[in-house]
Amino acid sequence: MNDLHAPLHAEELDAEGIGGWPFGIRDRVRFSELDALNHVNNAVYFSWLEMARIAYLLDYGLTGMSHAAPDPQIVVRRQSADYLAPIHFGESYTVTMRATRLKPSSLVTDYGIYVGRELRAMAETVIVSLTQDGTARQAWRDDAVARMVERDGATLAGFD
């Protein structure tokens, strides 16, 4: 059986008409994600961003998601979402993601949430890389930085 949850890359996203993104995941709306207005609740979108982000962090080698060094502890410092049109039960969605601005131990990422080719929401997060004990910043790995620059076209700031 193939991996149902394998992330999507630029070529696959392009082929489905969602052009211009280097990374994405796909899933289907769950009944438990609806609220009493019968559409996906606004807070649920941030769990979807988290799913995409964790898949991205693993795929780009930013962390192995362990709770031990040398993996960093990654925390969200800021996030926002724009809701363009509601999402309903039974719909499948794609969360796309890219790194836009990159500092030695923090990162700004953009997201799109699509149903088919239709953009239903946009979002942005700022994440920070800490040591596992949470007391200090921990720099991103060089190879992961290189991937974010190459695949995503992320701009760098604050690097020597």
Would you tell me which residues interact with its own copies (CB under 8 A)? 1, 4-5, 16, 26-28, 30-32, 34-38, 41-44, 46-47, 50-51, 54, 65, 67, 73, 75-83, 86, 89-90, 92
In the block, tokens 């630029």 appear at 10
Closer by beta carbon to its own copies, 75 or else 139: 75
Q: Smallest distance, Å, CB 126 to its own copies? A: 9
**Could you tell me the two tokens for 18?**
């969602």
Give residue 32's region: left, alpha or beta (phi > 0; psi -120 to 50). alpha
Closer by beta carbon to its own copies, 65 or else 139: 65
Closer by beta carbon to its own copies, 42 or else 155: 42
Q: Smallest distance, Å, CB 146 to its own copies? A: 25
Cα–Cα nearest to 95, from 3, 4, 6, 8 = 8
Closer by beta carbon to its own copies, 46 or else 118: 46
**Could you tell me the two tokens for 9?**
């890359």
Three-state SS at 147: helix
